[in-house]
Structure 1
Amino acid sequence: MKTVQVSPFFFAFESDFVDTLKCVPMIVRYKLDSCGVKLKLHEWAKFSVEQKQKLAYLACYKESEIKDYGRFVKQLVFDQFRYNASLLAEVNDSWNFLNQVPQEVQQKAFEWNCSPLTLKQWISLNTLQRFALVKLSRSGHEGKNFSVALAEFKISGK
């Protein structure tokens, strides 16, 4: 997986939970994918706000930072639950590919009656925005924030 330096950032569509960090923000999801650790929502819920903030702001770009980040998350999980954190078997990093808009993103746009994204629009997005659209497109997400994210990213939604 190609890792791109991404500054800690919270999207406006995450504003309903950023103050409390009751849900895992996209910046943390991006970093978890980068280091290959799977964090379950019940695990996230047990962390303190300070620990959650640290996970959002810790550097996770250079190889050494990615390893340190992974160790930190694993240690948090072990300290809290006394078991090892789950690892991601594989990361489908379609947000890194700029030669086509991922099919899952186009499908979600169709499902939400949004205009399909053009390649030019896809390329104009930064890495974290593309990551967010891919994550919001995948099963397990109700997708309600998909069209909100498109509007936030200045891409025509509904």
Structure 2
Amino acid sequence: MTESPKVFDFEGNSVRSFHRISMSMRRKLDFARIKMSLEQWGKLSQEQRKMLFNAPCTGDAESSQHYAKLVREAVKQAAGEEVKALTDPRFDLWQKADAIPEKIEKLAKKMVNKEITLPQWKGLESLQRFALLKLSQSHRESEHVNFRLALKEFGLI
């Protein structure tokens, strides 16, 4: 799990310019079991954002703890507040290539009238599966537009 930081095309320029949190960054935050708000992200300097984007976090205990420490220190310094712990017990559903999460199946059917097959799901990179899961869990309509764009970018439609 040593994929380098990546920005998907569907994420757009707001992520490339570090105005929004990328999917690869969100995954690192999940590994570190931290929830950073967009408001907290906005209070970080451009240098802090780049540092956190590029800092490694592969999901193992040591790198996750180190990354959590980096995030906590940066947010405390920039925003004067603490980050929250991520408590969602389903955070790792994307890691299971042998079963497609129900939310993804339902949203794909609803938005593009298409079923994602298990071979397609297994063929995705772990970060792609993570992105689809995150986008499927959102209640914001803009994220659902990105879900459709992600399906297309990942070759699923």
For structure 2, list consecutive stretches of 5 or more residues without a partner in the other structure. none
| Correspondences of 1:5-154 after superposition (within 5 Å) | 5-61=2-58, 62-92=60-90, 93-142=92-141, 143-154=144-155
> Is the partner of 2:62 in helix, strand or coil?
helix
- Counterparts of 1:81 and 1:40, CA distance in 2: 11
Find the aligned partners of 1:119 and 1:37 in 2 and give their Cα distance.
Answer: 30
CA distance in 1, matches of 2:42, 2:113: 33
TM-score (structure 1 length as normaliser): 0.90
Farther off after superposition, 34-43 or 105-114: 105-114
| Structure 1 unmatched ranges of 5 or more | none
Give the superposed CA RMSD: 1.4
Question: Percent same amino acid among aligned pairs?
Answer: 33
Compute the TM-score of the two structures, normalised by the length of structure 2. 0.91
CA shift, 1:91, in A, is: 4.1
Larger CA deviation: 106-115 vs 32-41: 106-115
1:6-50 CA distances to partner (integer Å, 9 max, x unpaired)? 321110111231332111100100000000010001001111222
**Aligned positions, number:** 153
